Amino acid sequence: MEKLASAKGPALLVVFLALVGLAVGVSIQRDYAQTIADAFQTLESQAILAEAKVSGVLRGLDIGLHGLAADHESGVPLPEKVVAEHQRSFLKSFAEIRTVTATDASGQVIAAESLQTPGDLPVIRAFNISGRDYFRFHRDAVSDDFDRMHLSRPFIGSSKRWIIAASRAIRGEDGEFHGAVVATVIPRFFESILQDILANDTVDVASLHNRQGDILYRVPDSDTHTGQNVVRGESFQHYLKSETNITRHIGAAVADNTRRLVVFAKVGDTGIDVAISARFDKIIARWYPLAVAKVLLFAVFSAGAIALYRQWQRRRMATLALAQSEAHFRELFGRAPIALAISDRQGRVLLVNQAFETLFGYRQEELPSVETFRQRVYPDPAERAQQEQYWRESWNEAAEETRRPSPVEATAVSRDGSTKTILISRQRLGDDMLVAIIDITARKEAEEKVRELSQAIEQSPEAIVITDLDANIQYVNDAFVASSGYGRDELLGQNARLQRSGRAPNATYDALWASLRQGRTWSGELINRRKDGTEYTEFAIVSPMRDSNGRITHYFAVKQDITEKKRLTEELDRHRHHLQQLVDERTRELEIARTNAEVASVAKSAFLANMSHEIRTPMNGVLGMAHLLRRSGLTEKQTSYVDKIEVSGNHLLAVINDILDISRIEAGKLQIDETEFFLNDLIRDVTDIVGQSAVDKGLLLRIDVGDAPQEVRGDRKRLRQALVNYLSNAVKFAERGKITLRCHTLERREKDSLVQFEVEDTGTGIPPDDLVRLFQSFEQADNSATRKHGGAGLGLAITKRIAELMGGTAGARSEPGKGSTFWLTVRLGRTPHDGHGPA
């Protein structure tokens, strides 16, 4: 038997090595396929990124051309200066555009501007482009292409440099072709986008093509390849035949005759395509070391197998070598820096190393089986069941020794009760399973801190923005969106100057950029403009952001709206500076008020001292004689005398009544008698009393009831007295024009309404100094002995006291030479009907 086994031994060894070699070959082939797939994935992601950036740039160019076309699409042509200013503004926004022109329907240039070659403008303005392909494209366009920007094939312009014509049709409201606007674009227009893509280690060529195969721009070596046609290239043909937006291909490139991995991506419906490629030999060079390593490993393994076979031939030597090898393995296994364990298919734990015991706190004797391990370190039943499922799947996945199960994360509890996050990797070793466990608790905590920091930035109440080195916005948080008024999509990709109001000094921006270029942080105030046009002041702190190599890659700004804070600070300064002035002014006002009160008291005393004579003589003499005379036969002239006597008597009666009223008010004995009445009836009573006096003076009396309630509850008699006082004064002091009585509701409540009555006249008006004392007792605008109009000066004081007793107040406003408006407010109770009374 031993001889038979010895004879079959070499053959079995050869078969075994052949199977292992086959497995190694399959593994190498898979590595090769994965390397190509990874490279294509990187190229495709860069192509998608380039497509998005090119699409954004072309969209901005299209919007600009659309605006220029709109200058010529209205029925009324704009002035040439306005059109020229719009074209220059467009050129300032796109530095890589040499000229912009506008033509009529015949192709004749009607407007042109250039910031780079202004000396060529006379020639350009005399040019006719009707023979150009892009002009014919718009002129002969079908409806689907009416409102579309067109990019021409690259051609060499008068400057002996490659250019591309971007154009858009000028059409009338009915869609009729009126001409075109054309911008000559230098292909370098796309350089920054392609250079960003080229920064990726995998990419070594990035280019833009049109569907005719013309290279619009290529980096590197743009001067060599721009304008070159690659339509015959197998990669380009493969792309044209594909119906997808993105294609992958490996083949020889026409541009440099080099075998390449190429990814083509369509840029929307612009007719432009992005091509991102990498040299095949450069990509495959990544695979070579791994393949060579596996070949060498197989060679080593084969040599080892042969050596073991030879040792097997010498059992004693083999036994010794095996014992030494096992001891060495146990030494390496035991001292490994990561936790290791070996179990068999039945779930028995065969071996654990020191790192394993340290990590979980259990010795190998305490963990006889995998199930015991799961019971102790996975207290959560769901977690325990999940780990058991992973363990079983690992045996299935490991049916092929070349296939390694993916590592999984788990939450485990060690013997001391501490919770850890671990990463578990399993690898089958024949009928055994090698398990490697790494404690990633610290890494997960670091990731959580990064996440919390990201949330803190996003949820910060301060506006935060991150830009690239050209100040193009790449990130804004919610606070920035709220303060600026722009949507996030409106901000991303835009330059930060979008918010400039033009009011911040240029020196501020110069200092800002000087600090950033020197790698220093800048802080200061900026005056910016929101989307709705409102301006606000921000305190900004702008800092450079550096990568791991210390190179500045972005700028980071934190902004705080301090508009209200500045306003409050300035207002506080004003109040502080003028506080003493306000105190002085108030002291003077109080002194004047005290003096006025003393004067009013003296006037009242003088009036009351003379009142007895004012009453007795008219009452006893005038009224008595008038009564007797009217009973006798009188001539017309005598009747006139009697009328005048009665007028004097009535005047004296009014004075007496006013004195009695003001005396009752000051004594607190005047009572308000509330009854229900119609407001229209009250207005009619008042106009009946003073209406004829107004007509006699040639004055127009107007009534405006407005929205006042009609059926109300209040003291009709006193309210009529107050309104008669106002209207009588208006008739007395107005020599011409009109008098207006109006009323309207200031406030409505459940039980009452606050109603305001106004009497406006076109009289001589009242000086401001006299206006402030009109509502004091015994005061008139003219208190002199030579005044034109009589009166005791009590009517307005009584009116104000009546208004106050009825829950309101009274006042006046006047402008000398234009007239006066006297008003009073009263609270009138609401009735169940509260509607319109009789008209």
Q: Which residues of 440-452 are buried (b: 16+ CB within 10 A; e: fewer)?
A: beeebeeeeeeee
Contact 208, 272 (CB under 8 A): yes
**Which neighbouring-strand residues pair with 523?**
541
In this prediction, residues 131-142 reach a mean pLDDT of 83
The top-scoring range by mean pLDDT among 2-11, 226-235, 537-546 is 537-546
Residue matched to tokens 């030597």 = 317
In this prediction, residues 521-550 reach a mean pLDDT of 88
- Distance CA(426)–CA(398), nearest Å, equals 9
Q: Which range has the worst mean pLDDT, 289-298, 485-494, 598-607?
A: 598-607
In this prediction, residues 117-121 reach a mean pLDDT of 80
pLDDT at 48 over 60: yes
Residue 429's Cβ-count burial label (10 Å; 0-12, 13-18, 19+) is: exposed
Residue 714's pLDDT band (boundaries 50, 70, 90)? very high
Q: In this predicted structure, what is the pLDDT of residue 822?
A: 93
Q: In this predicted structure, what is the pLDDT of residue 612?
A: 46
Residue 614's Cβ-count burial label (10 Å; 0-12, 13-18, 19+) is: middle
Structure-model confidence comparison of residues 788 and 707, the more confident one? 707
Structure-model confidence comparison of residues 328 and 434, the more confident one? 434
CB-based contacts of 416, cutoff 8 Å, min separation 6: 361
Structure-model confidence comparison of residues 334 and 475, the more confident one? 475
Tell me the two tokens of residue 83: 């059109």
- Most distant CA atoms of the chain, gap in Å: 180
pLDDT at 827 over 90: yes
Q: In this predicted structure, what is the pLDDT of residue 825?
A: 95
Q: In this predicted structure, what is the pLDDT of residue 620?
A: 61
In this prediction, residues 241-250 reach a mean pLDDT of 80
pLDDT at 839 over 80: no
Distance of CA 388 to the CA centre of its chain: 51
In this prediction, residues 32-49 reach a mean pLDDT of 84
- Distance CA(549)–CA(180), nearest Å, equals 50
pLDDT tens column, 555-610? 889 988 888 888 888 788 777 777 777 777 877 877 887 777 666 655 554 554 45
Q: In this predicted structure, what is the pLDDT of residue 793?
A: 62
Q: Which of 236, 214, 239 is nearest to 227 (CA)?
A: 214
Distance of CA 804 to the CA centre of its chain: 52
Structure-model confidence comparison of residues 251 and 721, the more confident one? 721
Structure-model confidence comparison of residues 252 and 97, the more confident one? 97
- Distance CA(582)–CA(648), nearest Å, equals 50
In this prediction, residues 136-156 reach a mean pLDDT of 81
Tell me the two tokens of residue 158: 């008068």
Residue 823's pLDDT band (boundaries 50, 70, 90)? very high
- Distance CA(113)–CA(86), nearest Å, equals 10
Q: In this predicted structure, what is the pLDDT of residue 605?
A: 45
Share of the chain above pLDDT 70, in %: 86
CB-based contacts of 405, cutoff 8 Å, min separation 6: 390, 393, 394, 397, 398, 425, 426, 427
Q: Which range has the worst mean pLDDT, 315-319, 351-355, 520-524?
A: 315-319
Packing angle of the helix pair 563-617, 636-667 (nearest 10 deg): 130
Residue 234's Cβ-count burial label (10 Å; 0-12, 13-18, 19+) is: middle
Contact 339, 373 (CB under 8 A): no
Q: In this predicted structure, what is the pLDDT of residue 838?
A: 42
In this prediction, residues 515-527 reach a mean pLDDT of 88
Q: In this predicted structure, what is the pLDDT of residue 769?
A: 80
- Distance CA(314)–CA(728), nearest Å, equals 143
Q: Which of 558, 542, 554, 556 is nearest to 468 (CA)?
A: 554
What letter does residue 619 receive in the DSSP assignment? I
Tell me the two tokens of residue 708: 């006042």
In this prediction, residues 33-45 reach a mean pLDDT of 84
Q: Which of 491, 496, 494 is nearest to 516 (CA)?
A: 496
Q: Which range has the worst mean pLDDT, 111-115, 239-243, 589-593, 665-669?
A: 665-669
Structure-model confidence comparison of residues 574 and 630, the more confident one? 574
- Report which residue type is found at 339: A
- Distance CA(724)–CA(733), nearest Å, equals 14
Structure-model confidence comparison of residues 60 and 827, the more confident one? 827
- Distance CA(738)–CA(821), nearest Å, equals 12
In this prediction, residues 25-36 reach a mean pLDDT of 85
Contact 542, 559 (CB under 8 A): no
pLDDT tens column, 344-383? 888 888 888 888 888 888 888 888 888 888 888 888 888 8
Give yes or no for a cis peptide into 220 (omega within 30° of 0).
Answer: yes
pLDDT tens column, 755-783? 999 999 988 888 888 777 777 765 554 54
The top-scoring range by mean pLDDT among 195-209, 530-544, 586-600, 792-806 is 530-544
What number of other Cβ atoms are within 10 A of residue 49's Cβ?
Answer: 17
Q: Which of 458, 496, 491 is nearest to 477 (CA)?
A: 458
Q: Which range has the worst mean pLDDT, 331-340, 701-710, 773-782?
A: 773-782
User: Quick check: helix, strand or coil at residue 408?
Assistant: strand
Q: Which of 758, 732, 729 is nearest to 823 (CA)?
A: 758
Mean pLDDT for the chain overall: 80
Q: In this predicted structure, what is the pLDDT of residue 318?
A: 56
pLDDT at 745 over 60: yes
Q: In this predicted structure, what is the pLDDT of residue 810?
A: 92
